Amino acid sequence: MFESLEIPELPSRRPGRTTLLIATAAVLGLVAGTCAGYLVQADREPTKLPSLSQPVLAQAKGEGPEPLSAAQDRRVRTDGDLRKLLLTKPKGARADEYLSSGDGWMDLADYAGGYGMPGSVFGTLVGYEFRRAAVTGWTTGDYGVQIRLVQFRQAEILGAAESVDQSYYDDEDEYGTKSYPVPGTGDGMAYVHTESDEGEGDYSAEAHAWRGDIALEIWVYDSKPIPGQRIVDLAKRQMERL
């Protein structure tokens, strides 16, 4: 029916003699071309590349930018007259008698002298790099307020933060004290002492906070218990001025 077909064999994939000769010649030509390229490049003058150092640019002439205002840079305010940042005495209030003899400033000795152990406090303040303190105060009847802005140089230590940290109460119940955070100050705290001082009928509250290189201290005194919101509001308004 069908005749058997004879299928021819495929040619071998092994290169013959002629193929080998052509491949060898191509390789030798490539090697020779590469060597010639190296020889030509070696005879050429070295290429001079531009120096990595840049020429000194002439300084621009004309006036520099305007300095930042106090609203843009708080250091403009705090490096000036700190007394201008203190809360103003309310209308009708009298100046605090303890502070009336001064000019609104306290040096290191005066500030340390307000503590029970001034010698020890003096040394501590030196370590905290005390710079200066601005103070104000007033009284209205039996109600009195004292405010201090204590500034530190802070070259090697955060004196403002360290000073405030020393003012925190470890055990509030022992002193009959209630604490309240001061909004907008991070870790600022106000303390209301619910027990009168030594049975004399005087109540007190205090607030401590810091911002930058300034520590805030506020003391409030009254013949009756002091609401926590009163000292908190006072501290908040003062911190908003820093």
Reading the block at residue 166, the tokens are 């020393």
How many other CB atoms are there within 10 angstroms of residue 191's CB atom? Answer: 20
Region for 195 from its dihedrals, namely left if φ exceeds 0, alpha if ψ lies in -120 to 50, beta otherwise: beta
Closest CA to 231 of 95, 87, 94: 87
Look at residue 1 in the predicted model and tell me its pLDDT.
Answer: 41
Answer for the pair 194, 210: CB distance below 8 angstroms, yes or no: no
Look at residue 242 in the predicted model and tell me its pLDDT.
Answer: 92
Look at residue 25 in the predicted model and tell me its pLDDT.
Answer: 44
Reading the block at residue 80, the tokens are 């000036």
Look at residue 103 in the predicted model and tell me its pLDDT.
Answer: 87
Look at residue 229 in the predicted model and tell me its pLDDT.
Answer: 97
Domains of the chain: 83-239 (3.40.1000)
Distance CA 180, CA 236 (A): 12
Consecutive sets of 10 residues in the chain, 242 residues long: mean pLDDT of each?
38 40 44 51 60 68 62 67 95 85 87 89 95 96 96 95 83 75 94 74 91 96 94 97 93
Look at residue 235 in the predicted model and tell me its pLDDT.
Answer: 98
Look at residue 10 in the predicted model and tell me its pLDDT.
Answer: 34
Look at residue 112 in the predicted model and tell me its pLDDT.
Answer: 93
